[in-house]
A = this chain, B = another copy of it.
Amino acid sequence: MEAQIVPNFLQKRAFLTPDRPALSFLGKTYTFTEVYERAYTIAGQLQAAGCVRGQFAGVLLRNHEDTVFILLALQLLDVKAVILNNRLTAEELIWQMNDSKSAFFLTENTFNEVTQKVVNSLGGISAIYKEDLFRRDPDGPSVVDEISLDEVCTVMYTSGTTGNPKGVLQTYGNHWWSAVGSALNLGLNENDSWLCAVPIFHISGYSILMRSIIYGMKMVLFEFFHEEKAIEAISIEKVTIMSVVSTMLTRIADELKDEKLPVNFRCMLLGGGPAAKSLLEDCREKGIPVYQTYGMTETSSQIVTLAPEYSLSKLGSAGKPLFPSQLKVAVPNGKHADPGEAGEIFVKGPNVTKGYLNRKEETAEKLKGGWLSTGDIGYVDKEGFLYVLDRRSDLIISGGENIYPAEVEGALVSHSQISDAGVIGMKDDVWGEVPVAFIAGDENLDEKEVMKYCSEKLAKYKVPKKLIIINEIPRNASKKILRRKLRELLEESGN
C-alpha cells in the first residue's frame, strides 16, 4: 500500500481555525494565522538561503517563539530538522552534524562561540544565524501542500550502550499518531492549553508543539522552567495541561504549599523516569492531577500513560499503552513475563520510530517485527498496568536529561592518562541522579585536569560530579562493566 498522504499540518490548521490562539510566549499571544504567516516568511528566507526539500538541517536554538516559527518553517519546506540539545559541547555538535550529514547549521547569536568551533571543523557547511536570516528578503517559498506520513520530520540523538549517539528518525506519522493517541487518552477540549516548560529540543517539548498544531490548541512556551511562573501561568493563561519531570513537579508541589491549582487545570503529565512514591502521594494530597507516563525519543513521547480514572487507584503505575500502541514485557529467554514478573519492556505502534539515521544494523538490532526493545525494566500487573522499575539498567536520568554511561566513559578513556572508566548514577536531592565516574590509569592522574578535559568533551550535565580513582574497573568475563560492583564501591565510599 501507499503511505498515507495528509495535508501539510500547519497550513491545514491555519486554514481550519485561523483565529484561535496558537502560541503564547512572554505574554504575547499569536493566532494560528499569525504563526503561519511568520513561518511562511521564514520558509521563504530559508529558501533564499539555499534550503531545499529533503535536506537535513542541524538546529541549535533555545526555547523561544522564533524557534517555534523556524521549526514550523522547516516543516512547510519539508526540510528535516536535526534538533540539537542546547547543552552539547562543540565536539558533540560536530559529531551529530557529521553523522546526520546535515546541509547547514541553523542557530542564533547566543550560541556564537560554540558555532564558530562547529563551522571551523565542518568544511563547507555554513551557519545560518536566525538574526541574519530574519533580515533576508524572502523568496516565495515552495510550500509542501501534502506530506506522506512516512516522511522523516525530525531527528533527535540518543546514545546507546555502544556510546555513540544515534539519530532517532521521527516521521510526520510518528508525531501524528503520538498526538492522536494522547488525545484519545486525555480527551480534547476546545479550551485546552498546554504549558511547555521543558526544552523544545527534547521530544517532550517538540511533541507539545505538534499537538498544538494537530489539535488547534494554545501552547504556552517558557524559556526555562520556573515553579512560580508556572503556577502563575496556569491561572492567567488558563493552562489545562502541563508536561513535567520529577524535579519540576517537586518544585511546583513545594511552592504551592497549601494552595490549590485552579480547577481548569486538568493534567500534570509526568514523564522522564520513575517517580518517587512520596512525591506522588504529596501531589495526591495537594489535589495535583498527576498522570504518570512512559515514553522516549524513539516513541515520539508518551506511549504508556495512566488514564484519568486510575490516577489514584494505580498510583505509581505508568498506565497502559495508548490506543494505537502495544506493550510487552519479556524475560531473558524471550518469553512473555507473567503478571508481576520483571523483564525488559518492548513497545510497538505507529508512534514508534522506523529506525536510526544511517544505521541499518543498529536499527535491525533494536527493532524486530515492529517491536522496539527499550532496554528498560518493568512489569505489568494482572490488569495490565505497567510499572517501570528502572530505565535502562545503566541509564542515568538527571533533571530529565538522559545520560548514557557509555558516552561518558568514551570521553574519559579518550584522555591519554586514563586506561579504563566506569560511570554510574548517584542519588541527588536536586537532580534525582548525577553521574559519578570510576577511573583507572596513570599514577599521576590529575583530577582537576580530567574534569576540565570532560567539560570540553561533554555537555555540562554529563560531566561526572565525582571522580573515584581505582586500580581496575571491575568487568565480567565478556568484559562488560560490573556496575553493581561500582555501586557497592560507591556505598563503601560513603555516598
Contacts and interface: CB of A to CB of B under 8 A. Distances in A.
Given A184-B188, A326-B7, A320 B16 contact: yes
A493 interface: no
Interface string A3-29: 111110000110111011000000000
Contact of A3 (B1, B7, B308): B1
A309 interface: yes
A1 B150 contact: yes
A307 B17 contact: yes
A432 to B, nearest CB: 30
Interface residues of A, number: 40
A20 B183 CA distance: 17
A2 B320 CA distance: 25
A332 interface: no
Contact of A189 (B15, B189, B215): B189
Contacts of A189: 187, 189
Count of this chain's copies in the oligomeric assembly: 2
A15 B188 contact: no
B190 A188 contact: no
Nearest to A190: B187
A404 B215 CA distance: 38
A307 B6 contact: no
A216 B325 CA distance: 15
A214 interface: yes
Nearest to A348: B5
Given A6-B324, A6-B350, A184-B215, A17 B309 contact: yes
A384 B15 contact: yes
Contacts of A350: 4-6
A86 to B, nearest CB: 32
A1 B2 CA distance: 7
Contacts of A13: 323
A3 B173 CA distance: 12
Nearest to A5: B370
Interface in A353-410: 370, 384
Interface centre among A13, A17, A19, A20 (most CB of B within 10 A): A17
A145 to B, nearest CB: 9
B384 A214 contact: no
A138 B325 CA distance: 30
A176 to B, nearest CB: 9
A57 interface: no
Contacts of A190: 187, 308
A370 B2 CA distance: 10
A387 to B, nearest CB: 17
Contacts of A214: 184, 323
Contacts of A42: none
A214 B1 CA distance: 23
B188 A349 contact: no
Interface in A128-150: 146, 150
A323 B184 contact: no
Interface of A: 1-7, 12-13, 15-17, 19-20, 146, 150, 173, 180, 183-184, 187-190, 214-216, 307-309, 320, 323-326, 348-350, 370, 384
29 contacts: A1-B1, A1-B3, A1-B150, A4-B173, A4-B350, A5-B348, A5-B350, A6-B323, A6-B349, A7-B324, A7-B326, A12-B323, A15-B384, A16-B307, A16-B323, A17-B309, A20-B309, A180-B180, A183-B183, A183-B184, A184-B188, A184-B215, A184-B216, A187-B187, A187-B189, A187-B190, A188-B188, A189-B189, A214-B323
